[in-house]
Amino acid sequence: MLSYSTGESGSGQDVDKVREATRLVRERRPDLLVDGPMQYDAAVEPSVAASKAPHSQVAGRATVLVFPDLNTGNNTYKAVQRSAGAVAVGPVLQGLRKPVNDLSRGALVQDIVNTVAITAIQAQGLKAKEDNA
């Protein structure tokens, strides 16, 4: 759960939001390894994690990054995708009654294909729920 602060090093509304989100995930899904608030470098770089979050099971080897807001997430994933040639999947919208996802006007063909695939999988899951209801 990314933030501008790691652990207890910062305070304020933005950090508190990430801290509360982390608490909720741990409460609702204790089977998931999750930690936060955590700065990006502590989340992905083992040497940084050793000093900033030495007791974390996630720090230094995070494979899923949850951004604190749309602004941060959107800018970061686009920067990484374009500068590192990474595959970026998303944004994926959740909490709606029907599967709906979004694409940027600057989307690559592969972005469109990935988003269509995710939306189709979401639709299959919805249909399975409706069939079992």
DSSP for 19-45, written as a single string:
HHHHHHHHHH-TTS----SB-HHHHH-
Q: What is the pLDDT, as a whole number, of residue 35?
A: 96
Question: Is-contact 2 18, C-beta < 8 A?
Answer: yes
Tell me how far apart the alpha carbons of residues 51 and 42 are, in angstroms, rounded to a whole number: 8
Tokens of 91: 């944004």
Question: Is-contact 52 58, C-beta < 8 A?
Answer: no
pLDDT digits (tens, 9 = 90+) for 16-75: 999 999 999 999 999 999 999 999 999 999 999 999 999 999 999 999 899 998 889 888
pLDDT band at 116 (very low <50, low <70, confident <90, very high): very high
Say how far residue 83 (Cα) sits from the centre of its chain: 19
Say how far residue 24 (Cα) sits from the centre of its chain: 15
Q: What is the pLDDT, as a whole number, of residue 31?
A: 97
**92 — phi, psi (to 5°)?**
-110, 120
Q: State the number of CA atoms in the 13 A half-sphere of 83 facing the CB.
A: 6
Tell me how far apart the alpha carbons of residues 49 and 6 are, in angstroms, rounded to a whole number: 10
Mean pLDDT rounded to a whole number for the chain: 90
For the domain covering 1-68, report its CATH number: 3.40.50.10750
